[in-house]
Structure 1
Amino acid sequence: MRITQGTFSFLPELTDEQITRQIDYCLAHGWAIGIEYTDDPHPRNTYWEMFGNPMFDLRDAAGAMLELADCRKRFAQHYIRLTAFDSTHGTESVVLSFIVNRPSREPGFRLVRTEAPGRTIRYGIESYAVQARPEGERY
């Protein structure tokens, strides 16, 4: 299963050259670059771990690519995403994010059904990453 979150998630993996072009685009708009990582990419897990500080003063994509290379080296089996933060008044939010690294094996998710009072059925998503069972023994 391939996790599809953020911009470009349905496209093939971006090359480092394509990532550099996206960083250049972000810097041209005055956006700060951030790098985050996680081992649990649940759709509601919006709080990934920051790798270093956001790069507000960055003027060249090479600096972000060096940080990304370091993050990939230290967290090779994690999901890593690049974010662009627009600090202009009125926006002050992440305006672009995309995954730039994936683990060699993506565990995926399962749908959890819970019955509640009044014949109510609730659904949730649970990551296989939180289970200790290997891929062939999940069901």
Structure 2
Amino acid sequence: MRITQGCFSFLPDLTDDQIRAQVQYCIDKGWAVNIEYTDDPHPRNTFWEMWDLPMFDVKDAAGVMLELNACRKAHADRTYIRLSGFDSSHGWESVRISFIVNRPKEEPGFRLVRQEGPGRQQIYTTQAYAVDRPEGQRY
């Protein structure tokens, strides 16, 4: 199963050159770039772990790519890593772009859980296969 979240989710994984081009686009727009990672990519899990602080003053995509590669090296092939661009031109931070830049070699996916409610009501939820194991041992 392939997790699809954020921009470009319908495309194959971006190459480093394509990621660098998107990062430079964010920088040219004046957006702060942020790197986050998780081992639980459930669609409702919007709060991923931050890798360092958002990069507000970076003027070249090479600095972001250096941090991205350090995050990849620290977490190897067991986590999802996403890059986000934040726009503060309105006086508050708004996510303008967000996309996955790294994923585990094996993605366990989700299962659909159905529960019967009162009457004939059906309640559906999704549950990640990864959460059956403790954090740090999911991949």
Same fold, judged at TM 0.5 (above)? yes
1:58 is matched with which residue?
58
Structure 2 letter corresponding to 1:26: C
Deviations 1:118-137 (A, max 9, x none): 322111000010124xxxxx
Distance in 1 between residues matched to 2:119 and 2:45, nearest whole Å: 30
Hey, what's the Cα distance between the residues in 1 that align with 2:55 and 2:119? 51
1:135 equivalent in structure 2:
none
Structure-2 separation of matches of 1:98 and 1:33 = 12
Q: Which letter maps to 1:42?
A: H
Report SS of the residue matched to 1:118.
coil
TM-score under structure 2 length normalisation: 0.91
Match of 1:100, SS? strand
Which amino acid letter does the alignment assign opposite residue 99 of structure 1?
I
TM-score (norm 1): 0.91
1:23-46 deviation digits (Å, cap 9, x = unpaired): 010011000000000001001110
RMSD: 1.1
The aligned runs of 1:12-31 (5 Å cut-off) are 12-31=12-31
Aligned pairs, number: 132
**How big is each residue's C-alpha offset from its partner over 1:53-77, in whole Å with a ceiling of 9 and x where there is no partner?**
0001111101100000000001121
SS at match of 1:84: strand
Aligned positions of 1:40-79 closer than 5 A: 40-76=40-76, 77-79=78-80
99-108 or 109-118: bigger deviation: 109-118
1:89 is displaced (CA, Å) by: 1.1
Q: Residue in 1 aligned with 2:85?
A: 84
Partner of residue 129, structure 1: 130
1:78-101 Cα shifts (integer Å, max 9, x gaps)? 000000000111663111000000
Alignment of 1:74-113 (within 5 A): 74-76=74-76, 77-89=78-90, 92-113=93-114
Partner of residue 35, structure 2: 35
- What CA distance in whole angstroms lies between the structure 2 residues aligned with 1:92 and 1:32? 9
Match for residue 119 of structure 1?
120
